[in-house]
Amino acid sequence: MTGNDGGESPAQRLIAAITRGLMRAMVRPTFRAGRPIEQQRLRVARVGRLTPTPRGVEFRTTTCGSVPGESVTVPSAAPAGRVILYLHGGGYCVGSPPTHRVMTGHLASRAAARVFAAAYRLAPEHPFPAALDDAVAAYTGLLADGVGPSEVAIAGDSAGGGLAVATLLRLRQLGVPGPAALVLFSPWVDLGLGALEAPPPGEILITRPWLEECARFYLAGRSAEDPLASPLRADLRGLPPTLIQVGTDELLLTDSRRLYAALVAAGVEAELQEYPRRWHVFQMNAGLLADADRALDAAGEFIRSRVAAPSATP
C-alpha cells in the first residue's frame, strides 16, 4: 500500500521541500559516525524541544515495572482503556521519551489510548540486552497493573521498531502473553546490515557508517545474528497483527520490506504501507506534513481496530 498517490497539492510539495531541507541541515549532522554520543544526545534533545506537540496532550514523568518513562494522555477525552507501549528510536544510543513526544502525543490522540513511552537504557553505557530487558519489564509492568494483553499495542520507530519485535520474541520465550497489535515505523531489524542497499538519493537523515557504529555500541561484541538483536532472523510465527510504515526515500526501506515478507511467510497478519518520497520516520513531522498526518491516522485506526477498549463498553 502506498501512503500517497502522487497527487500532492502545490502547498504540500512546498512544505515537504522546506521540511526536507531543514531536516537535512539541522538533524542529519547529529547522526554522524565519530561524533561523541553525548553530543548526539544533546543535539537530539534540542531538536525535540523545538518540535511542537499536539494540543490537549499531557506528558507526565512516571515509571512502569520499575522502568522510567512518560505517561502520555489526552485529559479531555474519555479513557478508552487501551494502552500503547512506545519504544523510541535513535540507534539504541540516543533519543528519549521527550524527543519523541510528537509520535507519542499523536498516537495517544489518534488511537484513543494511554501511551507509556519507556526510557529504556542506552548503549554504549548499557549494551544489549539492557534495552530489551527494560522493554520486557515495562510490558510486564503494565500486566501487573491490571492491563490485559488484549488491551495493549507495542509501537516503535527505527531501532525502537526493532526492539518492539524483539520484545515480542522475548515475551514468547518467557511464556508471557503478547499484546494485541504491533506498529512499526521504519524499523531497524537487521543489525548485520548485510542486505542494506545503497541509500536512495532522497535519504536525508541516517547513514550506513552511523548505523554500523550504533550496532557496534549496542552489540558490544555480541553477534548481530542473535535474533533478539536482529529480529529479522527470528522465527516470527505467532506474532500479533503488525502494521509497518516506511518512506521510500530512506536507507532502511529494505528492512521494512524484508520484515513484511518474513511476517507474511510466517503466517502473521501484516500490512506494509510505503510512502513515496518520504524520509526516515517522517511521521515526526505530523501537524505540518499531510503524509505524516495520514500515516498516523492509519496507525491510530489500526490500533483501535485490534486493541480492546474495555472501559468504552457499557
Residues with catalytic roles = 158, 250, 280
Phi/psi of residue 77, nearest 5 degrees: -95, 150
**Start-to-end Cα distance in the chain:** 36
> Residue 181: beta bridge partners?
153
DSSP state of 119: -
Question: All 3 cell numbers of residue 190?
Answer: 537487521
Dist. CA 209–CA 215, nearest whole Å: 10
Place of cell 519489564: 137
Give Cα separations from 172 to 113, 202, 239 (angstroms): 24, 38, 9
Rounded to 10 degrees, the C-alpha dihedral 18/22/23/29 comes to: 150
**Beta partners for 115?**
72, 84
CA angle 163, 273, 215 (to 5 degrees): 30
Query: Would you tell me how many other CB atoms lie within 10 Å of the CB of residue 224?
Result: 17
Helix (H, G, I), strand (E, B) or coil at 113: coil
Helix segments in the chain, DSSP class H: 10-26, 37-50, 101-110, 130-144, 159-174, 208-219, 253-265, 290-306
- Which positions ≥6 away from 271 have C-beta within 8 Å? 1, 242, 243, 244, 302
Q: Is 39 helix (H, G, I), strand (E, B) or coil?
A: helix
State the cell numbers at 200. 536512495
CA distance 298 to 107: 10
Judge whether 165 and 286 are in contact, CB under 8 Å. Answer: no
Q: Return the CA Rg of the chain.
A: 18
